[in-house]
Amino acid sequence: MFKKILVANRGEIALRVMRTAREMGIKTVAVYSEADRSALHVRFADEAICLGPAASSQSYLRGDKIIAESLRLGVEAIHPGYGFLSENAAFCQAVTDAGLVFIGPTPHAIEIMGDKLASKRAVAEYNVPMVPGTPGAVSDPDEALRLAAEIGYPVLIKASAGGGGKGMRVVERPQDLKAEMARASSEAASAFGNGAVFVEKFVTKPRHIEVQVLGDTQGNVVHLFERECSIQRRHQKVIEEAPSSILTPELRAAMGASAVAVAKSVNYTSAGTVEFLMDADHKYYFLEMNTRLQVEHPVTELITGIDLVREQINIAAGKPISFRQQDLRIHGHALELRVYAEDPTNRFLPDVGTLHTYRRPQGPGIRLDDGFEEGMEIPIHYDPMIAKLCAWGANREQAIDRMLRAIAEYRINGVKTTLGFGAFAIDSVPFRTGDFDTKFVEQHFDPEKLKRDNADEAEIAALLAARLNSLHQVTQGAASALAQPRTAWQLNRS
Ligand code: MV4
């Protein structure tokens, strides 16, 4: 096993990785920018290296410097976390070329899965459901028109190099196709340096369900069930949960097998996530694979009891996955709320500043992954996520109730946060009954209403407690009616 690893990241995820490393008896090296000198991940690590000025391009993205410092300090392996260099195939290759171990997949897997068309080609032989669409890039507008007519409108034009919804365009009618295609292509060319686009059937009001996988260097690949991430705004996830409230055991097994097949198509090693879209008829389609440890991995850890970072480190050291597929069970239900320093009543604009009050929620079933303490400043240079608040319960209702209780207990003053927005979403009837899709925020969120609720800060906790009480009673009937068919005895009496 490694004696010393470097964590090429910051904030909560750097701490998360270092905690497991410490449990495993592995020494840790932190890296930091000038803006993060007093950050918690720096204090937690055994050693720390300043990479340069605040801008990511001069610090956390300096792969050359990270590798040079690793060699100087006798580091054996590098964990990239998420974001920054985590899905950079060239960095992964450079780490390996320097004689170090990249705690993640191979450059080959990163490269193929980073290109949507290449990933579809790799997966094509594996009998995994895919959205009907063009098999390759389309550059001739007349050909695109012919193919779109075959696929059927509405269609979606996507950039092959795209991600996070960039370069995507919905086309409802054939007369709009050529113009939208030109727009999508030039958008993709300027954003990704690659103008290749393809056409797919547009799945309306989809749910976003992703499957966690692990692969080892012995060729074993397992899945750790799904996470549902449909509650998002502008491709930024807000609430994630595991398991999904709509999957049957049969569908779960089928999606798990599909996810394993996707991973096998690139001989995947380490932790990865296979994304699917699910339509209103509960048909699912492979979308893409993320070749990193994801932000929302804790909900999977909470329902499986598996430490994904421990598995990643063991796999990178050449060991097999610590369990077999048939040993895994889903235990209870978990939710994650991403708490951002953003103002939900003002178009979610970042609201960075000093955390004058910062008191964490505690108690049964709560896990909080954060990287801040009271008095600290949230730097403007990076993602404004303050924390990931997770709640585990024996069932979905208990996880929801614990999450609402923890939100009410969480005290943050000095910056605006998405806590109140999270409470609204989790406490809403669509969320409680499981009747939602990726359009949830657009359809159900009313910033004016949240503003009124926020008007008296001191009243929030009381308000939440009251609402928790009443809505619980209102929706419990509906939710349990869904979950359990009534017995004849009950029916005779109603
Ligand atoms: C789609 C789609 C509907 N139909 N593909 C969004 C980001 C990118 N990874 C793929 N995305 C989508 N692809 C087809 N054929 C709808 C989306 C989509 C979406 C997907 C997952 C989570 C949230 C989303 C929000 C809007 C659109």
Q: pLDDT tens-digit profile of 382-402? A: 999 999 999 999 999 999 999
Identity of the amino acid at 48:
A
How many Å is the maximal CA-CA distance in the chain? 77
First and final CA of the chain: distance in angstroms? Answer: 63
CA 232 – ligand 1 centroid, Å: 11
- Active-site residue, 292 included: yes
Higher pLDDT: 353 or 482? It is 353
What percentage of residues in the chain have a pLDDT greater than 90?
Answer: 85
Q: Is 132 in the pocket of ligand 1 (CB under 6 A)?
A: no
CA of 165 to the centre of ligand 1 (A): 7
Asked if pLDDT for residue 488 goes beyond 70, the answer is no
> Which run of H or E residues covers position 491?
helix 488-493
Ligand 1 centroid to Cα of residue 111, in Å, is: 21
- DSSP per residue over 14-64, as a string? HHHHHHHHHHTT-EEEEEEEGGGTT-HHHHHSSEEEEEESSSGGGTTT-HH
- Residue nearest atom 6 of ligand 1, based on CA coordinates: 165
Q: Which of 29-33, 314-318, 443-447 has the lowest mean pLDDT?
A: 443-447
* pLDDT attached to residue 494: 30
pLDDT digits (tens, 9 = 90+) for 428-466: 999 999 999 999 998 999 888 888 777 655 566 666 666
State if residue 11 touches ligand 1 by the CB under 6 angstroms criterion.
no
pTM of the model: 0.91
Cβ-in-10-Å burial (0-12, 13-18, 19+) of 489 comes to: exposed
321: DSSP letter: P
- Phi–psi pair at 295, nearest 5 degrees: -50, -45
